[in-house]
Copies of this chain bind each other. A is one copy, B any other.
Amino acid sequence: MRLATLKSETPDGRLAVIAPGGEAFAWAPVATLQQALENWTEVAPQLAQITSFPEALEPEQLCAPLPRAWQWLDGSAFPSHGDLMERLLDVQPLRTGLPYMYQGVSDRFYGPHDDVRFNDEALGIDFEGEFGVIVDHVPMGTTAAEAMDHIKLIVQINDWSLRMLAGQEMKTGFGWVQAKPHCSMAPFAVTPDELGDQWRNGRICVDLLIDWNGRRFGAANGEPMSYGLHELVAHAARTRDLVAGSIIGSGTVSNANYREVGSSCIAEHRAIETLDQGKPQTEFMRFGDRVRMEAKTADGRAPFGAIEQKVVEA
């Protein structure tokens, strides 16, 4: 089952169930995805029963599937990304044996075709391709094994980052605020079964294809996470209940063979350039730049649809 949210007069938009081909939809029997997640046991079977999709889908109607959330907690679970970023930023985060995670801004997620507003090109505008899961209510103290059942939907995210601010905020120990403005989401939130055996062990084992201004920049696979998303959910819930509709992120998708598959953010690519050539060669994004992100399964499907956005001056 694939769900989308279409623009309406409210910030939460209106929930739609998407036809298998992705070209049509039916309105859901509940107004918003947040409402569905708050009553998932009851609502999900109603959504799954829908087999007639009378409405044509216009891409510009799309919001993020969850246009705002009460909580967005982003991990950093791809070790090759962490290693490269530590070298670039000259930081040595404490190895706690636990996942890394920060809390990000969640009052708005950009839709997949919205222009993305920044007020200063000099801040090092960067994309970060990643995956996330949306949970129903997760009680405090839920284990990783139990957390698996709370993962109701999977989404594809661009965690926009401002690199000139990220290093210094990390060095305060307080985490990122200015360096992490609002994120974007791909069109469709999908139930785990949509990924078949490419959802395994809490990993989203598909390739994340990233094109920057029409040129392929990365095609890393989502599998090699140090912690599965169920473990990240359990980490988040260790000392708090997670309200239904909380989103937990994987961190930037990255593979150890980054020289072959490329990267899911510019900063990582700059770190590789620094290793190879002594300093970064690639500049960050400029106003007018475009980025496209589309996850592809082994059999060529794009379950989440594509993010296609332009960076603009606020």
Interface residues of A (CB under 8 A from B): 68, 70-71, 73, 76, 91, 93-94, 96, 98, 100-108, 117-120, 123, 140-141, 162, 165, 168-179, 181-182, 235-236, 238-241, 243, 246, 314
Contacts and interface: CB of A to CB of B under 8 A. Distances in A.
A96 B241 CA distance: 34
A93 B140 contact: no
Given A102-B177, A103-B105, A174-B176, 5 more contacts: A118-B239, A119-B141, A140-B181, A178-B239, A181-B239
Contacts of A76: 174
Q: Is the interface of A mostly helix, strand, loop or mixed?
A: loop
Contacts of A94: 168, 171-172
Contacts of A141: 119, 314
Nearest to A243: B107
Contact of A107 (B70, B120, B140, B181): B70
Contact of A73 (B119, B177, B238): B177
Which one of A94, A172, A182, A243 has the greatest number of beta carbons of chain B within 10 Å? A172
B168 A96 contact: yes
A140 B119 contact: yes
A178 B235 contact: yes
B172 A96 contact: yes
Q: 8 shortest A-B CB distances, which residue pairs?
A: A175-B175, A94-B171, A70-B107, A170-B173, A107-B243, A102-B174, A103-B103, A93-B172
B165 A239 contact: yes
A101 B76 CA distance: 20
A117 B71 CA distance: 19
6 contacts: A70-B107, A96-B168, A96-B172, A102-B103, A103-B177, A117-B140
A193 to B, nearest CB: 28
A93 B243 contact: no
B173 A93 contact: yes
A178 B175 CA distance: 13
